[in-house]
């Protein structure tokens, strides 16, 4: 008896679920998705090709160095890079002496303690330090940025759909609000202090356009620093910060694939060899 009741109750639940699914689907078909300004005007990242793309991609060291220059001269004013240490820059082709000089001359020093007085102090960076945070803490960071927190950039290309292409698109995607948007959604005017950028999820980003003029960064290798070039270079650099060991992962992957193919052939030949006699016997019989 108890089992029968349990079955009936279960069936009752299933019925209610079924009814709600059917009415929900019917409503969706009848009314369609609600049209929001984000649904209509948000854009997917632009296309970006980097040397590190694909299963055999390798970093373009010169581009990474240019990207680092963009980080140093522009982005580091607001964004931290807390998972990267100065000494990691040797991966980009800088010598130990150069890395030492970069750390020593970095605009923001590392928090420390005065050994004489015990008072809080700062000291110059050394190669084993991570890149120091531009602000003392998140409260100060928000206070300086209209209450928006500039996120850490170390893993940004892994954290956003589109990766490097997303970063590139955000940096080159600032524009005026399209008239069609204001016509359709008169209430969606970009609030003061924010900037219209169709590649950002809610279309209005708190970051002022960081790359605005050609020649903003003077590249050490003489490359012409157009806004487009700087955006590509910093996107490449942030791909490296998010996965500095990508090249060795690619190399290991290739070696593993070659080994597996070789091993497959070997196994097949061994199989043929083991059964060859049986097959001959069967053919003779
Ligand atoms: C004046 C300070 C400032 C500078 C300089 C700056 N940013 Fe930002 N950035 C911000 C703030 C503030 C936000 C948070 C925006 C928001 O949440 O609306 C942000 C957000 C971002 C985001 C994240 C967007 C997301 O999806 O959350 C990326 C990527 C980014 N910045 C990259 C850069 C790069 C690359 C540079 C250098 C070329 C740079 N920023 C320079 C202040 C700055």
Q: How does pLDDT run across 210-263, given as a tens digit for each residue?
A: 999 999 999 999 999 999 999 999 999 999 999 999 999 999 999 999 999 999
Domain spans, the chain: 40-84+130-243, 245-285
Q: What length does the chain have? A: 285
Task: Determine contact, residues 67/237, Cβ cutoff 8 Å.
Answer: yes
CA angle 40, 42, 44 (to 5 degrees): 125
Sign for the CA dihedral angle at 78, 80, 81, 85 comes to positive
**Is pLDDT of 34 > 80?**
no
Query: Closest residue (by CA) to atom 5 of ligand 1?
Result: 75
Mean of the pLDDT values across residues 129-156? 95
Whole-number Å distance between alpha carbons of 187 and 42 = 16
The Å distance, Cα 230 to ligand 1 centre, comes to 15
Q: Whose CA is nearest to atom 20 of ligand 1?
A: 150
103 close to ligand 1 (CB < 6 Angstrom)? no
CA distance 124 to 157: 29
Model confidence pLDDT, tens digit, residues 269-285: 999 999 988 888 888 87
Residue located via tokens 């070039």:
229
Q: Evaluate if residue 151 carries a pLDDT over 90.
A: yes
142 CA to centre of own chain: 22
The pLDDT confidence band at residue 31, using thresholds 50, 70 and 90, is confident
Is the shortest distance between the CB of 170 and ligand 1 below 6 Å? Answer: yes
pLDDT for residue 32 is more than 80 = no
Tokens in use for 27? 């409503």
What's the count of helices (H) and strands (E) in the chain, helices before strands?
10, 4
| CATH number, span 40-84+130-243 | 1.10.760.10
Residue 75 confidence (pLDDT): 97
Spatial distance between the Cα atoms of 205 and 177, rounded to a whole number of angstroms: 13
pLDDT grade for 68, boundaries at 50, 70 and 90: very high
What is the Å distance from ligand 1's center to 148 Cα? Answer: 9
Report the residue among 44, 69, 73, 78 best suited for mutation to probe ligand 1: largest number of ligand atoms under 8 A from its CB. Answer: 78
Pairwise CA distance, residues 200 & 166, whole Å: 9
């Amino acid at each position: 008896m108890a089992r029968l009741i349990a079955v009936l109750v279960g069936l009752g639940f299933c019925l209610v679920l079924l009814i709600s699914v059917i009415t929900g689907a019917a409503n969706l078909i009848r009314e369609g998705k609600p049209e929001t300004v984000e649904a209509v005007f948000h854009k997917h990242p632009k296309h970006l090709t980097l040397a590190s793309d694909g299963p055999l991609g390798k970093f373009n060291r010169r581009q990474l160095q240019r990207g680092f220059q963009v980080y140093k001269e522009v982005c580091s004013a607001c964004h931290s890079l807390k998972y990267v240490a100065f000494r990691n820059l040797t991966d980009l082709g800088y010598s130990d002496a150069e890395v030492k000089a970069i750390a020593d001359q970095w605009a923001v020093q590392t928090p420390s303690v005065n050994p004489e007085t015990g008072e809080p102090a700062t000291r110059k960076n050394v190669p084993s330090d991570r890149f120091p945070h531009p602000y003392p803490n998140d409260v100060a960071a928000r206070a300086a940025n209209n209450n928006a927190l500039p996120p850490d950039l170390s893993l940004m290309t892994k954290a956003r759909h589109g990766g490097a292409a997303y970063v590139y698109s955000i940096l080159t995607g600032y524009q005026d609000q399209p008239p069609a948007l204001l016509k359709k959604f008169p209430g969606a005017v970009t609030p003061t202090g924010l900037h219209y950028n169709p590649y950002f999820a809610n279309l209005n980003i708190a970051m002022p356009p960081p790359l605005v003029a050609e020649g903003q960064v003077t590249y050490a290798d003489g490359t012409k620093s157009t806004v487009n070039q700087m955006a590509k270079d910093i996107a490449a650099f942030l791909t490296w910060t998010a996965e500095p060991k990508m090249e060795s992962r690619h190399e290991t992957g290739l070696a593993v694939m070659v080994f597996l193919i070789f091993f497959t052939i070997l196994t097949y030949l061994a199989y043929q060899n083991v059964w060859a006699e049986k097959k001959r016997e069967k053919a003779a019989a």
